[in-house]
Structure 1
């Protein structure tokens, strides 16, 4: 019985030693490697105006309610289609019951439907918004960076981020006493920080008026777009 245990133990030890060799090789791959991060940022004008308008009504007859909401919405859509360079799409539309004070009996129905308008022509969209506020209510006014503008900005930031990463890699190499470095891997990530803007006083003023058209004032501002470069470099020692 004992004569078989000793060779088995030696074999297990040998296999364990062989299995540890890839681990040692993996450790050597990370020798003198440094993880670094650099970033570049830029203020980009928010050049896309987004307006959300809505209509909300109630009725005891759900069919009549739906018809009334559709009529108001279709009128606004037809009016918006007459304006050039306005992107139009319908938002959410929901209806729900209204209960009596005891909460057990349905006394009516309320329905709300949204209309979303987008344009790079702030003047045209502001004018249209003022006209539509005669029949609709203001749900929100936001500003964003258009897709084409964001891409142009990111392309420029990519070069800046690479240069910033190289400068940091060179600084780390000098601090470690190396003679140079090579990039092992490099990843990029872009973040934008849109800050939707709304004028509450403008909304209250528009909501308090009946038929008079009100053109909302706009202040789009800018958003900070940041390109981050995360990577690993291997420092070549003297």
Structure 2
């Protein structure tokens, strides 16, 4: 027990000795919270198309086989187009009941194929060609990760510069002689797409001699933003 007491005493004195040091930290006055933001419109450079195969059959096994065959044909065709990324989406099946809702009379299944490319013309043409096997479920445009990162890096510098200008303005408004930066947080506000409806492909009637038509593409743009939130301490003369 005495040895434990001797060990505890130095620790207690060390803790007490640190209290004055903490109390001596000068209080901060004339602090102002500021926010600045930089944003720009960035053109979409990525196209994403979701196609699907959907059918109904009394035999669930035959239905699954037909859906798989349809998807495999589409995947094989899509892989032949350079620059197109191919992936499978969701796939589900469910029973179809009779009018009384008691007996299963058939099965219905739906499976998705997702395509992505920076070559809008090639993907649009491919999607049109695949309409023989599949249907268009959705078509969207986005900003590629590398493009978004480059835009955010440039906007970060603009946001910091804008924050500095606001700090100077606030300092002058308060009659200060200068300011110190207490804290600064930089955040990406993400991507804000414009309010337009999903672009579902409306294909015209096909002229077999002219070939399969591809939809004209208007990709649009989205707003990318970076904000700078911080606190300054105004120095008074």
Task: Note whether the superposition's TM-score is higher than 0.5.
Answer: yes
Tell me, yes or no, if structure 1 residue 51 matches structure 2 residue 49: yes
Structure 2 residue corresponding to 1:85, chosen from 60, 83, 86: 83
Deviations, residues 20-56 of structure 1 (Å, cap 9, x unaligned):
x97x878923x21111000011110000001110010
Q: Which runs of 5+ in 1 are unaligned?
A: 1-18
Equivalent positions of 1:163-182 (< 5 A) are 163-182=161-180
Cα distance in 2 for partners of 1:235, 1:115 equals 58
* Residue of structure 2 in register with 1:220 after alignment: 219
Are the counterparts in 2 of residues 197 and 220 from structure 1 also a CA contact under 8 Å? no
* Residue of structure 1 in register with 2:136 after alignment: 138
TM-score normalised by L of structure 1 = 0.83
Pair 1:26–1:70, CA change in 2 (3 A): farther
Runs of 4+ deviating beyond 3 Å: 24-27, 195-200, 208-212
**Which deviates more, 129-138 or 212-221?**
212-221
Question: Tell me, what secondary structure is at the counterpart of 2:217?
Answer: coil
Equivalent positions of 1:1-238 (< 5 A) are 28-29=27-28, 31-190=29-188, 191-195=190-194, 198-200=198-200, 202-203=201-202, 205=203, 213-238=212-237
Cα distance in 1 for partners of 2:130, 2:105 equals 30
Cα distance in 2 for partners of 1:213, 1:98 equals 35
Instruction: Count residues in correspondence.
Output: 214
| CA apart distance, 1:59 | 0.7
**Which deviates more, 213-222 or 78-87?**
213-222
Deviations, residues 189-228 of structure 1 (Å, cap 9, x unaligned):
222112466445x42x35x769873312210011111111
* Residue of structure 2 in register with 1:10 after alignment: none
**Which deviates more, 190-199 or 152-161?**
190-199
* Residue of structure 2 in register with 1:5 after alignment: none
* Residue of structure 1 in register with 2:14 after alignment: none
Deviations, residues 77-108 of structure 1 (Å, cap 9, x unaligned):
00000000101111100101101111111111
| CA apart distance, 1:184 | 1.1
Cα distance in 1 for partners of 2:165, 2:218 equals 38
Question: Tell me, what secondary structure is at the counterpart of 1:178?
Answer: coil
Cα distance in 1 for partners of 2:24, 2:49 equals 59
Cα distance in 2 for partners of 1:54, 1:188 equals 41
